[in-house]
Structure 1
Amino acid sequence: MAKIIYTHTDEAPLLATYSFLPIIEAYASTAGVDVETRDISLAGRIIAQFPELLSDEQRIDDALAELGELATTPEANIIKLPNISASIPQLKAAVKELQEQGYAIPDYPENPQTDEEKATRAKYDKVKGSAVNPVLREGNSDRRAPASVKNYAKAHPHRMGAWSADSKTNVATMGKGDFRSNEKSVVVEADDTLSIVHVGADGTETVLKDAVKVLAGEVVDATFMDVAALRRFLVEQVARAKADDVLFSAHLKATMMKVSDPIIFGHVVQAFFPTLFEQYGEQLAAAGISPNDGLGGLLSAVEGLPDGAAIKAAVEQGLADGPALAMVDSDKGITNLHVPSDVIIDASMPAMIRTSGHMWGPDGEEADTLAVIPDSSYAGVYQTVIDDCRANGAFDPATMGSVPNVGLMAKAAEEYGSHDKTFEIPAAGTVEVRAGDGAVLLSHDVQPGDIWRACQTKDAPIRDWVKLAVTRARATGAPAVFWLDETRAHDRNLIEKVQAYLPEHDTEGLTIEILAPAEATAYSLERIRRGEDTISVTGNVLRDYNTDLFPILELGTSAKMLSIVPLMNGGGLFETGAGGSAPKHVQQLVKENYLRWDSLGEFFALAASFEHLATTAGNARAQILADTLDRATGTFLDQDKSPTRRVGGIDNRGSHFYLGLFWAEELAQQSEDAELAAAFASLASTLRENEQKIVDELAAVQGSPADIGGYYRPDGAKADAVMRPSATLNAALAAL
């Protein structure tokens, strides 16, 4: 039987699954397609690490490892919903909830000392940060706005904040002493096993990482952040924001860059509150309170300290003495520096640009902002967009072009910071990357506290990436621009490979460019304003940034993108959009039984999954399901059945009902398969005749609190009851 794997993830996407999956299962069954789930949620990943501590009923398989193996096979057909890329505070919160639910799992060891604590920490390190994507992404990324979404955005443009020519909003970045400027890169000539070694000033050698396997032609990079330079830079930016009378904000990615960026975040916190850490730094450290966890964690943790009240007063004084601090929630006093995972650069910077270059201040008002992005690798992309808006005004979603993306990500390509090759250096010396024969391939002189990291990009994914870029350029006629900078060590090696592999393809009549990121941004923006499309062909980090930046400007959200990963061994991975807003949606559901999560990304991924199944398994009915779902989604958009923001409107459950109704009607009307049409004629009639009754049943539950039995691991029965409150709809699906 043909099979689709539908991932069980976290937060709003998970809750939406309880409502949408029964529709998918019912419709797919008519084409002989089995839909199975696999639990790759944060809670599920944690539970799978500790089977020896749990009862038989509590144990679950390591679904992520299973899917990682499946992704390397031609049979793979995986729909991947957004999942939590856990910061340490999120990981701790999930552990606490699971313990309260009766799971005898250990606490997260902050400073492991014993072998047992180190083993526990290693298990948690496998779970936190961007743990899922590198495992599943055994192919490169093709991400674009479906035509139906782009047309809807042009016909119903979202609101864009006006820009002023005298806006004081800017990006601040280091330019020297940072990861970009210290980067070194090498292409290994043969299969090898590398090691990473710290050589102390006294000659003492410490192996930081051994058995790093590499393949011939692989690009290996290493770099470090000079923390002394970082601290000087941050102090200067706090003073600059104060002098310019703009909000101070820091934009990092403490989820994907799960080792480096929380450390950098901690330095930002210390730079903003210098007096606090001069007076109480030793006391905070002795109590195990780390600035890396953010101001929120610090304020909670000092409650039990003898000087807790004085420390809180010092925080208040720091807020008064410094520049106005950008806020996550000004009503609740949650600042930009409260939680490292609250302000994620790929979502926060586009949102700021869309809102006149403003963030929210402590007074609850919008204001110009100094966006601090310490590493200069891609900071210029955002400065270029800001400069363009300052000169030319806000973009017009009704007329602007699109920037689809071809992203290099297969086999964990360019996963800087989200793996086990990032280290906070304990002592002065040199870090060396050594070949198996002892030859030093890369080296850096480092000081205590510097953040050193390495990454790998295999040759086969690069070759596949070039092929996919040419394929998309040929399919669309749009220029394909490789965002690569010849003055950066890593990019120089990639440029050589791109230039070597492009002649393997027919590029006649195509426009293929190689431009540095800031130049590529300017090129794309010029075309956008003319209504023209440009394919951005990027590495993995820029893929992450660009597939939020441009969709948020074009469509108002990145959740409505079609994201296809043609797996290198013939399978398909279909991603459903971004989940950055998912936590707020869950909070609203629990408070007033209203889920405003938009499942449009799931609709697109499902259609692409059926289409892939039709091609690979020769399943004609799967193709009919794909075609009719596409048409139903068009009707869904035309009739504006997406969730509204507030109680009283259509929420996620209502949007699923209408998608199911339109899809059933399309299936009943199609002429390719009379038996299939007859099967859906009755369902379509039932749903249409009971439309108002179903809508009323779904709306009746709104406005009161909802009990789902847990945030990170909801109770299945409770969540199912909350997300499927229409007995009429449930009975109609069961009848099919």
Structure 2
Amino acid sequence: MSKIIYTHTDEAPLLATYSFLPIVSAYAAKAGVDVETRDISLAGRIIAQFPERLTEEQRLSDALAELGELANDPSANIIKLPNISASVPQLKAAIAELQGLGYDLPDFPESVVTDEQKDARERYGRVMGSAVNPVLRQGNSDRRAPASVKNYAKAHPHRMGAWSADSKTNVATMGHDDFFSNEKSVVVEADDTLRIEHVAADGTVTVLKESLPVLAGEVVDATFLDAAALDAFLAESIERAKAEGVLFSVHLKATMMKVSDPIIFGHVVRAFFKPVFDKYGQDLAAAGLSANDGLGGIFAGLAALPNGAEIRAAFDAALADGPKMAMVNSDKGITNLHVPSDVIVDASMPAMIRIGGHMWGPDGEEADTLAVIPDSSYAGIYQTVIDDCRVNGALDPATMGSVPNVGLMAKAAEEYGSHDKTFEIETDGTVRVVDGSGAVLLEHAVHAGDVWRACQTKDASIRDWIKLAVTRARLSDTPAVFWLNSRRAHDANLIGKLEKYLPEHDTDGLELHVMNPAEATAFSLARIRQGLDTISVTGNVLRDYNTDLFPILEVGTSAKMLSIVPLMNGGGLFETGAGGSAPKHVQQLVEEDYLRWDSLGEFFALAASFEHLAVTEGNTRAQVLADTLDRATGTFLDEDRSPGRRLGTIDNRGSHFYLALYWARELAAQSDDAELAATFKPLAEALAAGEQAIVDELVAVQGKAADIGGYYRPDEAKATAVMRPSSTFNEALASL
């Protein structure tokens, strides 16, 4: 029997699974496809780390490790929904919730002194940040807007904010003394085991990472961010925002860059509230209140301090005295500096550009913004888009072309694989990467407080990435641009690899370019304004940025993208879009029993998954499911059955019903498999006959609080009851 692994993840995607998975399982079973689930949620990953502390009933196997092994199996077929890439505040909140549910878990240790604290920190470190993606992504990324989504966006263009020629919105970035400018890179000649060590001014050697296995041809990079230069830059940016009368915002990715970006975020908080930290910094530190966790964490802990009210007043005064702050939620007073994981650069910057270069100010109004992106590696792409819109106006979704992406991410490629090799330097000295013979491959002079990191990219991953880029350019007959900057050490080595491996492929008639990110952005913008498509072939971080930036401008969201990861050993990983808006959707469900999460990306991923089974296992019925699901999704879009924007309209659960109805109709009408058609004919008739009753039942529950039993670990029975409230629909599906 064919098999699909469906992942249980977090927040809105998890809640949607309670509604959608019963449909998937019922339909798939008729094609001889078994659908199994694996729990890779943040809560599930935490629980799996501490089996010895839990009861037999509470224990969970390490599903992520199991899927990591499966991803290397040619038979792998995994559907992966968005998951939480946990920041420290999110991790602490999840631990607290699980402890409240009776799980005997240790607190997250703020400092590490004892062996027990070291062990706990080590285990929790395995589930923080981008813990899931590097394990599952044993292949490179092929991501694009399906034709049905693109056509719908052209026929029903989403609203775009108007751009003014005198807009004062800009990006502020360091441009020196940052990760970009300090990067060094080397190609390893033979298999080896490297070591990372710090040599203090007095000659004391501290091993930062004892063992770093590498393979022949692997690219190894090292760089650092100068903390003093960062602080000076931030002070200048704060003054610039105030002088120009624009909102101040910072754009990082503390979820994926789980070591470096929370530290940088802390620098921003301390810079903006410098008088407060100058006066009360010791009090805050003594209470365990860290700027790295944001204002939200600090404010929550002030009540326990004897001078907490005095400190809070100082924060409020500094907030009033500085430039106006961009807000995450102006109604609730949640600023851009409240929670590090609230502002995710690849989601926040496209959203700002889409509404005319504005963010929301403390007065609840839109305003021009200074977007602070400290490291200059990729900041230029956003400045280029801003400059283009300032001159040419907003892009038009009704006419614009598309920018699909081929992304280098296999085997934890590049920066997103740097977590275990990132360090906040404790004392002045030199950090160096040493090979097995003791020779120094890379080194930097550093000062206390600097953030140093290394990362690695396998030669096989690069080779596969180049192959995938050529394949996509050939299949779509579309120009492809490798976004590589010869002035960046890592990219220079990738350009060398490109020159070496590109001749292995038939490139006759293909239009292939190599451009730095800013040039590539301008080139792609010029083409999409003409309605032309351009494939962006990028590294791992730019893959993340581009597959939010262009889709949000093109089709209104990145959740509607087709995201396929052809695994290097022959299997398939099918991803279902981004989850950046998931927390807000959960909040609305709990308050109003209304889930606005759109599962469209899941529909595309599922069709691709069935098609993969048909190709790799010869399952002809899986191909019928794929073809009919594609047509059903087209009808779903034409009939505008995505979740509405207000109570009284269908939400996520209603959208699942309509997808099930259209899919059953397509299956009943198809001629490739008469037995399958006969099987689905009664269901199609029952769903059509019960349409009004089902919609009424789904809408009737809206407008009141919903109890799902937990945010990070919902109660299965409660969540199922909330997400499957239509008895008419449930009975019809059960009849299948």
Structure 1 position 122, deviation (Å): 0.3
Give the SS at the match of 1:370: strand
Partner amino acid for 2:334?
I
Q: What do residues 106-127 of structure 1 show as CA deviations (whole Å, max 9, x unaligned)?
A: 1001111101100110000000
Name the residue aligned to 1:238. Answer: 238
Which position in structure 2 is the counterpart of 1:77? Answer: 77
The residue number in structure 2 matching 1:120 is 120
Q: Hey, what's the Cα distance between the residues in 2 that align with 1:186 and 1:68?
A: 28
Amino acid at match of 2:257: M
Q: Distance in 1 between matches of 2:287 and 2:683?
A: 63
- Is the partner of 1:474 in helix, strand or coil? helix
Q: In 1, Cα distance between the equivalents of 2:116 and 2:286?
A: 22
Q: Which segments of 5 or more consecutive residues in structure 2 lack a partner in the other structure?
A: none
Query: Contact (CA 8 Å) 1:416, 1:453: kept in 2 or not?
Result: no
Counterpart-to-counterpart distance in 1, 2:152 and 2:441: 52
Between the aligned partners of 2:600 and 2:319, the Cα distance in structure 1 is 41
Can you list the C-alpha shifts for 1:225-261, whole angstroms capped at 9, x where unaligned?
A: 0000000000000000000000000000000000000
Structure 1: which 5+ residue stretches go unaligned? Answer: none
Q: Which residue pairs with 1:161 in the alignment?
A: 161
- What is aligned with 1:300? 300
- 1:503 matched to which residue of 2? 503
- Look up the match of 1:724: 724
8 Å CA contact 1:256–1:417 kept in 2: the answer is no
Contact kept in structure 2, 1:97 and 1:710, CA below 8 Å? yes
Q: Give distance in 1, aligned partners of 2:517 and 2:367.
A: 27
Could you say which residue in structure 2 is the equivalent of 1:689?
689
Map of 2:449 onto structure 1: 449
Helix, strand or coil: the match of 2:370?
A: strand
1:401 counterpart letter in structure 2 = G
In 2: Cα distance, 1:368 partner to 1:137 partner: 38
Conservation of the 8 A alpha-carbon contact between 1:144 and 1:405: yes
C-alpha distance in 2, partners of 1:487/1:253? 24
**Aligned positions of 1:72-111 closer than 5 A:** 72-111=72-111
Contact kept, 8 Å, 1:222 with 1:453, in 2: the verdict is yes
The match for 2:539 is 539
Q: Give the deviation of 1:43 after TM superposition.
A: 0.2
Describe the SS at the equivalent of 1:420: helix
- Residue of structure 2 equivalent to 1:358: 358
Offset from partner CA, 1:192-241 (integer Å, 9 cap, x none): 00000000000000000011000000000000000000000000000000
SS in 1 for 2:122: helix
- Does structure 1 conserve the Cα–Cα contact (< 8 Å) formed by 2:418 and 2:454? no
How far is 1:299 from its partner?
A: 1.0
Conserved in 2, the CA contact under 8 Å of 1:416 and 1:454? Answer: no
Q: Aligned partners of 2:416, 2:201: CA distance in 1, in Å?
A: 27
| Partner in structure 2 of residue 53 of structure 1 | 53
8 Å contact from structure 2 (residues 224, 451) kept in 1? yes
Give the letter for the 1:296 counterpart.
Answer: G
AA in 2 matched with 1:539: G
Separation (CA, whole Å) in 2 of partners of 1:418 and 1:646: 42
1:689-719 C-alpha deviation (Å, 9 max, x unpaired): 1111111111111111110000000000000
Matched, 1:272 2:276: no
What is the aligned residue count?
Answer: 736
What residue number does 1:174 align with?
A: 174
Give percent identity, aligned residues only. Answer: 78
Residue 583 of structure 1: aligned partner: 583
1:256-655 correspondence runs (5 A): 256-416=256-416, 418-655=418-655
The amino acid that maps onto 2:534 is: T
Residue range with higher mean Cα deviation, 304-313 or 31-40: 304-313
**SS of residue paired to 1:432:** strand
- 1:438-477 Cα offsets, whole Å, 9 max, x none, are 0000000000000000000000000000000000000111
SS of match in other structure, 1:165? coil
Tell me how far apart the structure 2 counterparts of residues 687 and 324 of structure 1 sit (CA, whole Å): 53
Q: Distance in 1 between matches of 2:494 and 2:671?
A: 50
Native 8 Å contact 1:421 1:454 kept in 2: yes
Structure-1 separation of matches of 2:80 and 2:380: 31
State the SS of the aligned residue for 1:253.
Answer: coil
Summarize the Cα distance change of 1:558–1:492 in structure 2 as closer, same or farther, 3 Å threshold. Answer: same
One-letter amino acid of the structure 2 residue matched with residue 725 of structure 1:
P
Contact 1:197 1:432 in 2 (8 A): yes
* Paired AA for residue 692 in structure 1: Q
Whether contact under 8 Å (1:256, 1:418) holds in the other structure is no
CA distance in structure 2 between the partners assigned to 1:180 and 1:316 by the alignment: 35
Residue 364 of structure 1 aligns to a residue whose secondary structure is coil
Cα deviation for residue 289 of structure 1 reads 1.2
CA contact (8 A) 2:432 2:443 kept: yes
* 1:600-658 alpha-carbon deviations (Å, 9 max, x no partner): 00000000000000001100000000000000000000000000121100100000000
Q: CA deviation at 1:417?
A: 6.5
Post-superposition CA distance 1:525-547 (Å, at most 9, x none) = 00010000000000000000000
Partner of 1:187: 187
Root mean square deviation of aligned Cα = 0.6
Partner of 1:215: 215
> Letter of the aligned partner of 1:432 in structure 2?
R
**Distance in 2 separating the partners of 1:608 and 1:394:** 33
Q: Structure 2: how far apart are the matches of 1:431 and 1:33?
A: 52
Distance in 1 between the 2:634 and 2:190 partners? 51
Q: Is the 8 A contact 1:258 1:418 kept in 2?
A: no
In the alignment, what sits opposite 1:39?
A: 39
What is the distance in 2 between the residues matched to 1:733 and 1:419? 45
Any idea what SS the aligned residue of 1:564 has? strand
One-letter amino acid matched to 1:731: E
1:417/1:453 contact within 8 Å kept: no
2:415 is paired with a residue whose SS is coil
| Residue type of the alignment partner of 2:73 | T
Query: SS state of the match for residue 616, structure 1?
Result: helix
Q: Normalising to structure 2: TM-score of the pair?
A: 1.00
Question: Structure 1 pair 24/416, CA: closer, same or farther in 2 (3 Å)?
Answer: closer
Structure 1 residues 444 and 451 mapped into 2: Cα distance closer, same or farther (>3 Å)? same
In structure 2, how many angstroms separate the alpha carbons of the residues matched to 1:386 and 1:328? 21
Task: State how far apart, in whole Å, the 2-side matches of 1:38 and 1:240 are.
Answer: 49
* Cα distance in structure 2, aligned partners of 1:331 and 1:728: 39
Equivalent pair of 1:260/1:417 in contact (CA under 8 Å): no
